[in-house]
Amino acid sequence: MNDMAKNLILWLIIAAVLLTVFNNFSVDSAPQSVPYSQFVQQIQNNQISKVTIDGYTIRGQRDDGSDFQTTRPAAQDPQLIGDLLEHKVVIEGKEPQQQSIWSRLLIASFPILIILAIFFFFMRQMQGGGGGKGGPMSFGKSKAKLLSQDQIKTTFKDVAGCDEAKEEVEEVVDFLKDPSKFQQLGGKIPRGLLMVGPPGTGKTLLAKAIAGEAKVPFFSISGSDFVEMFVGVGASRVRDMFEQAKKQSPCIIFIDEIDAVGRSRGGNMGGGGHDEREQTLNQLLVEMDGFEANDGTIVIAATNRPDVLDPALLRPGRFDRQVTVGLPDIRGREHILNVHLRKVPLADDVKPQLIARGTPGFSGAELANVVNEAALFAARRNLRLVGMRELEEAKDKIMMGAERKSMVMSEKEKSNTAYHEAGHAIIGLIVPDHDPVYKVTIIPRGRALGVTMFLPNEDRYSYSRQQLISQLCSLFGGRIAEEMTLGPNGVTTGASNDIKRATEIAHSMVAKWGLSEEMGPLMYDEDDSHQFLGGAGGSSMMGSGETSAKIDREVRKIIDECYSTAKRILEENRDKLDLMAQALMKYETIDTDQIKEIMEGKFPSPPKDSSDNGSSSGGAIIEQNGAGSAPSDDSKKPEQDGGSSDQSGDNTLGDSTR
């Protein structure tokens, strides 16, 4: 119930109580009541000295001074007055009491007031209640959530890993704090900032930090909140939002996922330029830079689809500036981890730099998830502090999936998996320009029966032809190891994802990256692997059928050469292949120290933490090389493939999983 209806009903109750009290005080206190027959008998006995007749009520006084009251019957008593006069009783008459005009007016208008109260109550409910949201008649009201300057506790200290983006927005904070500093020089602050970046990189957090630093109100809304099934609702909400913002100026309006409402106009089939979404966009364009001044209101929007936004939205005067909030580098990841690790009790052995080194391609949200998972691991073990062991296990769980310790594998299956992973590891150790092997395990994780993990020495943003060739060789190591131990007819489907990724890399080398001598530095495939940030799209072929055939022949040539190289390496190191497979059968997981002993021809010593074969104690990561995308792109977090549910589960290029 809204405040207006509550107040109206409260005043009506107070008026009724006052009326009752007034009527009660207007009536004299009632004396002793006696039956009418007794009253008549007392008259005959000369016991009554005085009476006052008020309609059917008779009050009087006896000879002894006591007061009484009686009620005359409905039928008139014609002898009453005569008896009173005969016995010398003093008779007084009283005019019937009448209610005041205010009492009569209040009583007469009470039903009308009740009807009005009910009417106002239902009207307010239809408009969404006291807050004005959610009712059938509140469609045109803005759904933006207002956070006052006291409610926003986020500052730039809570934002890490995007130093360049912070520098871009710092002058916005300076303007909101001291506008005269810029106005004296004729400078104008950007009307809008468009934050572009993959999911989880901190775009919303950075917008809150701007409001927290500037100490101004903060309106937050999603792009999809503008659009409804009714025509004109979105445009009305945009108008209402900016009207509210002008009242709170200076302030910040943050529109998350603006691509829901800001897509390019004219592309829809049959709708022309008059559909609801385009009307909403038109109103947004007018509000951001129209005839009416909109000083003091800064619009910040976030999206990972800048390619679909309308050009009119991106022009100077609206979104003047695009701030790229990308994935953090190793230093940024360490800073982000330090921010999140402040919130949990830590053991002395925690080294954030090792975790940062082992998580290339992780966004800020994913790093926060690593810390949270580590805290959950510690809680399950009834520990008071979060240690390095828990952080490593959390990282491995997010990268590769949870360990499937309950999965029962036959000795033959385990042996085949051990040879498969050993083949990946040995080739990765021998081929040039390959990331070092960090850990090999045959403990099932997620959809994979085994995982070979590599540890890059630093973040990579581009890859040479030799690095790609070496990775192709290591991808075929598992299949070749199976073929050497089981024969051509014993090869399993465990290498299905390895083959898929190797084919994608070889095809990209020929058709996209210009790394083929035969085809030359030409692009034969559309490079739309980053159709939008944070996701991958397909590719479309360009060229004639003869060109496609040449591409296929060149891809096959690269694959055959890499396959032959990998097979030769394993045949020359068959003793080390057998030794590593035996170690995996015994320990299930081997680390860098044990791998070094194997490459020296020794059977490895037991692992440092033999009680937990699946744990690690360093910065182990799955190697990131952006399978199927240009190697100059930032590394990505590994994604599970769609391989066989029990035979493959490879994560990304360079991570050789069975």
Residues annotated as catalytic are 421
For residue 579, what are its two tokens? Answer: 């030794």
3-state secondary structure of 120: helix
DSSP class per residue in 459-527: --S---HHHHHHHHHHHHHHHHHHHHHH-GGG--GGGHHHHHHHHHHHHHHHHTS---TTT-S---B--
Q: Tokens 């083949």 — which residue?
A: 423
CA-nearest of 245, 218, 247, 223 to 155 is 218
CA-nearest of 580, 600, 616 to 421 is 580
Q: How far apart are alpha carbons 105 and 99 in whole angstroms?
A: 10
CA–CA distance from 491 to each of 14, 500, 569, 647 (Å)? Answer: 90, 16, 19, 12
DSSP class per residue in 27-78: SPPP-EE--HHHHHHHHHTT-EEEEEEETTEEEEEETTS-EEEEE--SS--T
3-state secondary structure of 298: strand
Are 440 and 584 within 8 A, CB to CB? yes
**Phi then psi dihedrals of residue 136, to 5 deg:** -65, -25
Are 351 and 386 within 8 A, CB to CB? no
Q: How far apart are alpha carbons 494 and 475 in whole angstroms?
A: 12
For residue 127, what are its two tokens? Answer: 């408009």
Residue 354 burial (CB count, 10 A): 18
**Phi then psi dihedrals of residue 53, to 5 deg:** -100, 120
Strand-pair partners of 51: 60, 91
- The strand order across the sheet containing 48-54 reads 32-33, 67-71, 57-62, 48-54, 90-93
CA-nearest of 62, 31, 30 to 45 is 62
Strand-pair partners of 32: 68
3-state secondary structure of 654: coil
Peptide bond before 250: cis, by omega within 30 degrees of 0? yes
- The amino acid that residue 388 corresponds to is M
DSSP class per residue in 333-352: HHHHHHHHHTTS-B-TT--H
Residues whose CB falls within 8 Å of the CB of residue 226, separated by 6 or more in sequence, listed in order: 233, 234, 237, 238, 260, 261, 280, 284
- The amino acid that residue 588 corresponds to is E
Please give the angle made by the CA atoms of 68, 74 and 75, to the nearest 5 degrees.
110
3-state secondary structure of 186: coil
Strand-pair partners of 386: 346
